Structure 1
Amino acid sequence: MAGYTVIDFETTGLSPRYGDRIVEIGVVKVSHEGEVYDAWSTLVNPQRDVGASRIHGITAKDVLTAPTFDDVAPALLDAVAGRIVAAHNASFDMRFLAAELERVGYVVGERTPPSVCTMRWSGAFLPGSSRRLRDCCASAGIEIVGEHSALADAFATAQLLASYLDRCGGRPMWGDEISAARAFRWPAPRPAAHTLTYKVRADRQPERADGWLDRIVARMPRSADSRVDSYLAVLEMAMLDGYLSLHEQDQLVEAAQSSVLSRPQVLALHAEYLHAMAAVALEDGILTADERSELDRAAACLGLAQHDVDDALAGAAGDDGADGLVISGISLTVGDRVTFTGEMRMERSVWEARARAVGLQPAGLARSTKLLVAADPDSLSGKASKARSYGVPIVDEAAFAKLMDRLEASAD
């Protein structure tokens, strides 16, 4: 492959299935050695309303004379052909890219185009960072100038990817994604009907207050499951104004389906999300009326009740932070198979005995394994790599301890 093509899209909403479109494209190339070069961007006329201008800063007037996606598609396909595509929360951008290409007559196929996700890999390189691009960049010492413009976000993502490559010493950890990119065949671009004229946005950035909920999102812990992180990234975008419209709720259903999350898993995620919000609200030891009101409103948006807020506040008051999200959507029942890998803080034999005592079955990794407990969830061990290929969730020792506590409490 010739190198990486980093892409970022600003969109009218969260879901191409529900008619949302791309309104801006940012493209930046990165060499295998981490050199960032050859950037371009353009606004795109979505041929519908532009959506959340308060977030992306693009108005209907801005895109009135911009090229359509059909106009831009040949240049975009030239930019990704023979290269590895990368993005931050790549599943979001790749769903939009595939849908837009199909909409204008290109055959992409049933499989989402492969890509490297800098959000997914942030845990391996940036311990402690949240999933948001701005927080990952801050952790890596990268400044974003003009956040929420496609080119600025693509350039920041390219720099983040370059920092990962540097830390890998030229040996990328995402071998599976590279192999998938080599095997994937992008559709050949059709001859352009006319010369493409890029249109860049005016020299202004979206002005959005960094409100209470937005600050909470910045503190949200990451999940050990990349599917969960992808869903939560979409949820956080939808929750920026503290309100989920019916349209946004439909979009979240589509995001959950794309991430292969069941309804119980989604509800568990929402409950853990509310718990994380409550923990941040209580950090200063005071719950203001405004904070309680925001929590009540968020709970209603998430399909939860006021008593769930009470439970979240009670739980948050009794723990040391909002770290439960790492086990969101995962539950263990008697008979489940669990596997251990790596050097644990507690002897593996002790963990296995404790697991057997509540009816779990410690055994080697198989497709039927419910959970892999790893000393390091970002491990590149054979077990961890195989677990990812099987879709088996990977959690660390602390997260497994919490699951065990719950299981033991229910058995009493």
Structure 2
Amino acid sequence: MIDVETTGLSPERGDRVVEIGVVYVSDHGEIQDHWSTVINPQRDVGPTRIHGLTATDVASAPTFPELAPYVLRAMRGRTTVAHNATFDLRFLAAEFMRSGVTLKDLPLSGVCTMQWSTAYLNASSRRLVDCCRASGVSLTSAHSAGADAMATAQLLGHYLKSSNYAPPWHEAAVETRAYPWPPFSGEYPELRMVRRSEARAVRSDQWLDRIVSKMPRAADARVDSYLATLEMAMTDGFLAEHEKDELVAVAVDAGLTRGLVLDLHADYLRAMAEVALEDDVVTSDERVEMDRVASMLGLRHTDVEAALEGALRAGRGRHGSSDALQNSGITLRSGDRVVFTGDMVRERGHWEELARRRGLDPGGVTKKTKVVVAADPNSLSGKAAKARTYGIPIITEGAFDRLLAEMPHA
């Protein structure tokens, strides 16, 4: 289990790791050992508002080259797990290369607890803190590498238990365990660990925090990775030019089209609209803020109107539900297999009949099933357990009803 805090969003543009946390976990989710340390990035520390570290904190910390042999030893022969693994592994690969460690196969692979959260959790967003809250895991110091790694380890334990310790990421586990890490033949340097100041707190912004919590979850792991990066960039409500460039680099690396990126930015704007409408009133300050953010995201004034109107039409705001957002990225089409499980509010036969009328195929769980509709998304039923094994989203009746309404007409 690995987590890193960084000076920015893009290792390709010179951003560095400023803190690393490592937790060793057994195949049954038992925490065996852990360590973490602040790292001297040999440059400015970047967004202190996010990770809470200052130049003073890192001045006497070890550099990554000093730690590289220990990080190699931690990863060799083990399954690498992280929350938004794409982000962490890109930074680790770049740090290894800067340290003179030659890597043959890139990108590095691993198991991503953010990617699998849709199969195991009914969380309000993809963020680690929200996934932890949904699974009953305690996370008291978000954005510190040690605490985040420990929370991710416990989140993994929740997934393992839910899958009866036969998780569906077997192929990814085999691949990452077999990675051809280069041998280290020299003497291990003295392992110095510098802990962050416990007294310093990361700044919290309730308005932005609520927006991030309402950001949609996507069915595509690449999209989720981009949205997670966008969330970090927007923590201060402002996109600097270098952050825009970094987001472009992340989008290109993920193979996202310009149209899809603009759609994702529109999702962010819709999340803002939900927050603004929580009290059923959009103040002039909130409207100015939405117009400003829309401009930064490459959207127009009319897109703000559309976001607000869409939030009102969907019955969001104070009485809204996270279900519709939670299933963003899922579109039902004629011929899709859907499965129903549990003691539902409506008769199961009624749901199955509605599904057939729309050209859907109610039946049992297969690898091609699009969604499982459950009375309780945390259901431990056989159908739900099988769906988690295949990584199939499990949604509520309300969410399914909205997906039916949004189905494209033939």
* Interval containing the TM-score (normalised by the shorter chain): 0.7 to 0.9
Q: What does residue 107 of structure 2 align with?
A: 112
C-alpha distance in 2 between matches for 1:180 and 1:228: 23
2:238 to 223, 226, 243: 243
Q: For each residue in 1:184-238, what CA deviation from the matched residue of structure 2 results, as whole angstroms up to 9, or x when unmatched? A: 2222235246323222222223330323122221232322222211111111111
- Residue of structure 1 in register with 2:404 after alignment: 401
Shift in Å, 1:387: 9.9
Distance 2:50 2:139 in 1: 15
| 1:146-295 paired onto structure 2 within 5 Å | 146-192=141-187, 194-295=189-290
What secondary structure is seen at the aligned counterpart in 1 of 2:33? strand
1:188–1:315 CA distance, 2 compared to 1 (3 A): same
For each residue in 1:74-123, what CA deviation from the matched residue of structure 2 results, as whole angstroms up to 9, or x when unmatched? Answer: 00010111111111111110111111112222222343222111111122
Q: Cα deviation per residue 1:24-82 (whole Å; 9 max; x = unaligned)?
A: 11111111111113111111111111101121111112212211111100000101111
Amino acid across the alignment from 1:173: P
The answer to whether the 8 A contact 1:123-1:129 is kept is no
Q: Distance in 2 between matches of 1:57 and 1:387?
A: 36
TM-score, with structure 2 as normaliser: 0.83
Counterpart Cα distance in 2 of 1:100 and 1:282: 43
SS in 2 for 1:75: helix
Q: Which runs of 5+ in 2 are unaligned?
A: 317-321, 341-347, 378-383, 394-398
Query: How far 1:249 sits from its partner (Å)?
Result: 0.6
For structure 1, list consecutive stretches of 5 or more residues without a partner in the other structure: 1-5, 355-364, 389-395
Pairwise mapping of residues 263-412 of structure 1 onto structure 2 (< 5 A)? 263-321=258-316, 325=325, 339-342=336-339, 345-347=351-353, 349-352=356-359, 373-375=370-372, 397-398=400-401, 400-404=403-407, 407-408=408-409
SS of 1:49's equivalent in the other structure is: coil
Confirm or deny: 8 A CA contact 1:278 1:313 kept in the other structure: yes
Give the SS at the match of 1:256.
helix
Equivalent AA in structure 2 for residue 41 of structure 1? S
Q: Percent identity, please.
A: 48
Q: Larger deviation: 113-122 or 173-182?
A: 173-182
SS of aligned partner of 1:27: strand
Which 4+ residue blocks in structure 1 deviate beyond 6 angstroms? Answer: 329-332, 377-382
- Does the C-alpha gap of structure 1 residues 398 and 244 become closer, same or farther in structure 2, counting only changes over 3 Å? farther
1:326 and 1:144 map into 2 onto residues whose CA distance is 21
Distance 1:213 1:277 in 2: 8
- The answer to whether the 8 A contact 2:369-2:392 is kept is yes
Count of residues in Structure 1 that have an aligned counterpart in Structure 2: 378
- Match of residue 381 from structure 2: none
Distance 1:268 1:399, change over 3 A: farther
TM-score, with length taken from structure 1: 0.82
Q: 1:93 is matched with which residue?
A: 88
Distance 1:223 1:319 in 2: 19
SS in 1 for 2:37: strand
